[in-house]
């Protein structure tokens, strides 16, 4: 089964609101990454957080990691219509694989 599982599966918000997505994983990891996919396109890397980090920021993105709970969250602040996309977490699952979850589909309404 897949290593990462995002929650919720779908999220619809208004422009200007914050969006929070969660990711849970099953095995020990070295790092966790978040990616974004615009409809029909390849995934694009957003941010990486190492297993010894608890929080990381990049622009309007804030990622947290709780290794004791095997979970991570991605917060997008002050969302824009252009943030509409699917968001995936990915882990190395402690191996040489790069495993993705099912993703959260975010819709930001103007």
Question: Where does this chain bind another protein (CB under 8 A)?
Answer: 1-2, 6, 29-31, 33, 35, 40-45, 48, 88, 90-92, 95-103
Tell me the HSE value of 24 on the side-chain side, using a 13 A CA sphere. 7
Nearer to another protein, 1 or 68 (CB): 1
Quote the least distance from Cβ 8 to another protein, whole Å.
14
3-state secondary structure of 102: coil
Buried b (16+ CB within 10 A) or exposed e, 77-108: eebeeebbbbbbbbbbbeeeeebbbebbbbeb
Query: Could you tell me the smallest distance in angstroms from the CB atom of residue 77 to another protein?
Result: 22
- 40 vs 2: CA distance, rounded Å: 21
Q: Measured from the CB atom, is 78 or 97 closer to another protein?
A: 97
In the complex, the smallest distance separating the C-beta of residue 100 from another protein, rounded to whole angstroms, is 4
Q: Is there a contact between 16 and 62 (Cβ–Cβ < 8 Å)? A: no
Q: Which one, 3 or 79, has the nearer CB to another protein?
A: 3
Closer residue to another protein in complex, CB, 15/61: 61
Q: How far is the CB of 2 from another protein (least distance, A)?
A: 7
């Amino acid at each position: 089964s897949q290593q990462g599982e995002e929650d919720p599966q779908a999220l619809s918000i208004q422009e200007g609101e914050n969006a929070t997505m969660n990711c849970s994983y099953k095995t020990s990891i070295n790092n966790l990454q978040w990616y974004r996919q615009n409809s029909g396109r390849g995934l694009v890397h957003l941010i990486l957080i190492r297993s010894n980090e608890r929080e990381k920021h990049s622009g309007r993105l804030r990622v947290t990691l709780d290794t004791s709970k095997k979970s991570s969250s991605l917060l997008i602040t002050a969302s824009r219509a252009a943030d509409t996309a699917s968001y995936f977490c990915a882990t190395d699952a402690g191996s040489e694989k790069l495993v993705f979850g099912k993703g959260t589909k975010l819709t930001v309404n103007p």
